[in-house]
A and B are shown apart, each in its own frame.
Chain A
Amino acid sequence: MHNNAKRRGLSFLLILAMLFVSVAVMLPVATSADPVEFADFGVQKLAALNLAGDEDTDLRFVFTVGSLDYTEVGFVFSKTNAAPTVGGDACYKMPVTVVHTQIVADGNTLTADPGRYWVAVKMTDIPHSYFDGALYVRPFVTDGLGTRYADAALTSVCDAAGHVHTIDEFEHERTGGTAALDVAGTIVGNCPGCNLEVTFNDVKAGVEYQKWIGGGGQARMYDRRQISDILAGGKHFYPDASNGGLGNDLVVEYSILWNETLLNLSADYNDGARLLTTFDTTNGGFSGEYRAIAYASLTNNVKDSGANFAGAFEYPSGLIQTSEPGDPHPGMTAGGGAYSDYANVGGTDRDHPEWGWHRIGVIYHEDVTNLNAVKGGAAATYKLTVSIYIDGVLVSILSGDHLDRGNADYKLFTATCDGNGGVTYEDIDEDIWVFAFLVHYVTAPTADAWFADGDVFVTAGHDFVHPVTRIANPAARTETVGGQDFNGAFYYTSAGAHDHVWGSLVNDASHAADCGHAATQSIHCTICGAVKPDSTVNLPIDPSLHNWGVTPVRIQEPTLLEDGIDRYTCTVCSATDDRAVSYEHSVQIFTTSTSGAYSPNGATVGSIRGSKHFYDEGNDLMVEFSILWNESLTHLRDDNSDNYKPYMDSRFATNAAGTSGNNNIVYWSLTGNIKGSDCKFPGGFEWGGIAGDPGDNPYPRFAGAYNDITAYPNLGGYNNGDGTAQVNDLYGWHRVSIRYHEEVTNVAAVKSGSAASYLNEMWVYIDGDLVLHTAETKAISKQLFTATGGGGSITYTENDSYYFHGAFLNSTRMKTGTGYFEIADYSATIGSDFVQNVRRVNNPTPTTLEVENGVFIPSTMWYELDN
């Protein structure tokens, strides 16, 4: 399919004659010796005339007389006098006194009728600029009775060539009247046939259509323009003096006939019809380096689309940040940025009592967000914004730093440092094509389907060529496209014929004045966007106004005890602003059951140690976290018989989830009666030991379990061992710190070839108090490192691929209600110091903590930093 239909327009010229067309003859007075004084009046162009390319040309003019009884015959010409006469205003006489029975005119030999003679003259050097200019011409004869004339005729070089002006109305703005699809306007532009500017009045917009034949093959429809045409006349997308320093947007607009036959298109998920506005390096669309900037759905089920019905608009990738001014957005749960709230546009599941013409607008805007930094040599960063309108209503805004759908990333312009503290801009390659719309290939429909469009414009500017307003209740009408009648209506009307309604003062550019930009504000018409005369306000650079951007750098992580710091940097002048950021809680909620373990902080041994070594003296595994002991934990099962044992542990494992090949180094109880545990009350700790499940018999296997409820009465629930409730009126945050040490105890023997033996030593602290210290010399199945030797040397192998989970929560179930489990400020490091050295607070001030679902839990902080 072609996109730019040529339409033959109206010529304002009277066609004189291509060659030797007889015209009406003025009869002479009765006494003339020539009964037919004027015949064969005609004009002839040069055979080799190139209307579009010749700098000048000649025309021949002829007529015949039937007598020699004249004193003078010839022509009078005028550019302006419609009835030229000999000696008249603005008239030029070209007389001849010799006439001919035969002439050779540009290779043609022409013999006059018997008794008649050719009157023949040649006008030379008519400039190209006047090929379309008016030439009034009139034959005359003079004798003793005076001078007589034939009727004057109007011609031009173009007319003489039989040339009828044409114009590509899709490539020229149609103005005048109301600029709606069905209302005539005026088009001024260059005729491709003669390369002259011509004017067409009373022109209605052309309608292009694509008919998908039911059961036929695939097809697609598009309308495309090249950047070189869009920027013709010295326009630029980048900011410069030609656009007041504001740059230009890419403005795309077209009308589309949404009609019931589109329901015949395949709504199969894999080939649903998409309507794209896109870039491409070739004129084929999707055949070169392409990238789409907006999508619309023609059917109800387009692959990869969040727009699940016809008429919805979206940017489907999801990587561009999106927002949707149209609200609400029913059904838009995927592919962010989809717009779906337009009941009268398409779709089988929508309320569409009237199909009809709608007008789509897409404005692609670009900002450089770090202009001052670019001046200093930094690479430019960009913000791209796509605004989508339906019938004059802004329905979707998509923005981000790049286009992400396709295989290229088109900026309207780029900015680089010019080396002298300034910026060099460059527009997008002029060879790039912009497809105002492109209907992707679709599978043959079940029955014939029509896609019809009109009034397509792609321009560089800030406003639509045809600003329109939405009509809420248009009158029904019938539209005929391709011989097919469609029920429809115009759902928009021109915004041109109205009294302006002035809005409030708004920024003209995407930014207000700030530390690096001057700016302007003006008042616009709320209907068409026109600027109110004399309303523009110039705003100078304001050093106090910064553009902080949206992505700060985290200078300090927040903890339970202290706010963190986020540093925002002005994208214009690089000033900084440090802002406090609170700790954000994450909670694991137990309801009736949990289906899996919970370990939010697992990491490999290799990532924990980095370039350090656990076998070096002084380097141990330092694990620490805060835990919110709270009453809801008493809802966990504690029946001593279930496999879902509510305990936490620190463990090594062979997988990221911590569930395979695990070997635990320490346990603590979340309830009072865990099967197989030494800890008969919540908050008790025990040494996990070497291998196996802690619930295995016999137990206790290792010395050192911690169960001194009198020392920490505020931990946990109740003592299920003796039935005496703990004193736990003050639940709250406690800090658990674990130091895990490993060393080879027989280095000398290993160097001689003996197997290594290991010491595993561990210290557990609660709120800064040491509560458990164990030391075992048994080999465990998962270790920080192993040692081998012989011949006087020892080699350590660190188990970097093991995962260490310092706060692993086992799957559990509830005996009643809901349980809330939360840890915070977790870290696992290598060294000899804890990140947070804390000490116990014996009588803290009670506070509360809001967790999920509005539940408040007493959250007294039972520790503070030991400074």
Chain B
Amino acid sequence: MEKKIYESAEIKIVLLNRDMLITSGGSLGENEWDEFNFNQLG
């Protein structure tokens, strides 16, 4: 568990759940890309 604090002049937010954040997956292989189909654009 890690606490991350964003600060500004107006607000202060403390994120308590690190699992909600994006993560680094290191190297992405040629065939490991997240894909979606053109038809999903509607």
Contacts and interface: CB of A to CB of B under 8 A. Distances in A.
A71 B34 contact: no
A102 B27 contact: yes
B28 A104 contact: yes
Contacts of B9: 30
A117 B25 CA distance: 9
Contact of A124 (B6, B15, B35): B35
B11 interface: yes
Given A98-B22, A103-B27, A103-B28, A125 B6 contact: no
Contacts of A107: 30
Interface in A105-121: 105-107, 117-118, 120-121
B25 A100 contact: yes
A69 B24 CA distance: 11
A103 B27 CA distance: 5
Of the listed residues B15, B24, B36, B41, the one surrounded by the most CB atoms of chain A closer than 10 A to its CB is B41
B28 A92 contact: no
A104 to B, nearest CB: 4
Contacts of B39: 125
B38 A99 contact: no
B28 A33 contact: no
Nearest to B6: A31
A123 interface: yes
A106 B33 contact: no
A92 B7 CA distance: 32
A100 B7 contact: no
Interface residues of B, number: 29
Interface in B1-42: 4, 6-9, 11, 13, 15, 20-30, 33-42
Contact of A121 (B7, B15, B33): B33
Given A29-B8, A77-B41, A102-B28, A70 B36 contact: no
B34 A145 contact: no
Given A31-B11, A92-B40, A99 B23 contact: yes
B28 A68 contact: no
B12 to A, nearest CB: 8
Contact of A31 (B8, B26, B27): B8
Nearest to A92: B41
Contact of A117 (B6, B7, B24, B30): B24
A31 to B, nearest CB: 3
Nearest to A57: B38
Interface string A12-55: 00000000000000000111110000000000000000000000
B3 to A, nearest CB: 12
A143 B21 CA distance: 8
Contacts of B25: 98-100
Given A121-B35, A123-B38, A97 B23 contact: yes
Contact of B27 (A70, A90, A101): A101
Contact of B33 (A30, A120, A145): A120
A130 to B, nearest CB: 7
Contacts of A31: 6-8, 11, 13
A68 B21 CA distance: 7
B13 A145 contact: yes
A120 B28 contact: yes
Contacts of A97: 22-23
B40 to A, nearest CB: 6
Contacts of B23: 68, 97-99
A100 B33 CA distance: 11
Main secondary structure of the interface of A (DSSP, over half): strand
A390 B9 CA distance: 81
Nearest to A123: B38
A470 B6 CA distance: 78
B34 A100 contact: no
A156 to B, nearest CB: 12
A74 to B, nearest CB: 9
B28 A124 contact: no
A77 B11 CA distance: 32
Contacts of A124: 35-38
B36 A96 contact: no
A78 B41 CA distance: 7
Nearest to B12: A31
A77 B24 CA distance: 24
A127 interface: yes
Nearest to A96: B34
Contacts of B26: 100-102
A121 B40 CA distance: 14
A68 B19 CA distance: 11
Contact of B29 (A32, A104, A121, A130): A104
A493 B8 CA distance: 70
A118 B26 CA distance: 10
A68 B35 contact: no
A58 B13 CA distance: 40
Nearest to B29: A104
A84 B23 CA distance: 25
Nearest to A94: B36
B38 A127 contact: yes
A29 B6 CA distance: 11
Contacts of B30: 104-107
Contacts of B37: 123-125
Given A92-B41, A104-B29, A145-B13, A99 B6 contact: no
Contacts of A77: 41
Given A121-B33, A121-B35, A92 B27 contact: no
A492 B21 CA distance: 72
Nearest to A30: B8
A125 B37 CA distance: 6
Contacts of B11: 31
Contacts of A393: none
A30 B8 CA distance: 6
Contacts of B41: 77-79, 92
A126 interface: yes
B2 to A, nearest CB: 10
A683 B1 CA distance: 147
B29 to A, nearest CB: 6
B28 A123 contact: no
Nearest to A71: B20
Given A102-B26, A122-B33, A69 B21 contact: yes
A553 B28 CA distance: 92
A56 B24 CA distance: 32
Given A98-B24, A104-B28, A104-B30, 15 more contacts: A29-B8, A31-B6, A31-B13, A33-B6, A58-B35, A68-B23, A69-B4, A72-B22, A92-B40, A101-B24, A101-B27, A104-B27, A117-B24, A121-B36, A126-B38
Closest 8 CB pairs of A and B: A31-B8, A98-B25, A122-B33, A100-B28, A102-B27, A103-B28, A126-B38, A104-B30
Interface of A: 29-33, 56, 58, 60, 65, 68-73, 77-79, 90, 92, 94, 96-107, 117-118, 120-127, 130, 143-145
14 contacts: A71-B20, A71-B22, A73-B22, A92-B40, A92-B42, A97-B23, A99-B22, A100-B27, A101-B26, A102-B27, A117-B24, A121-B34, A123-B36, A145-B6
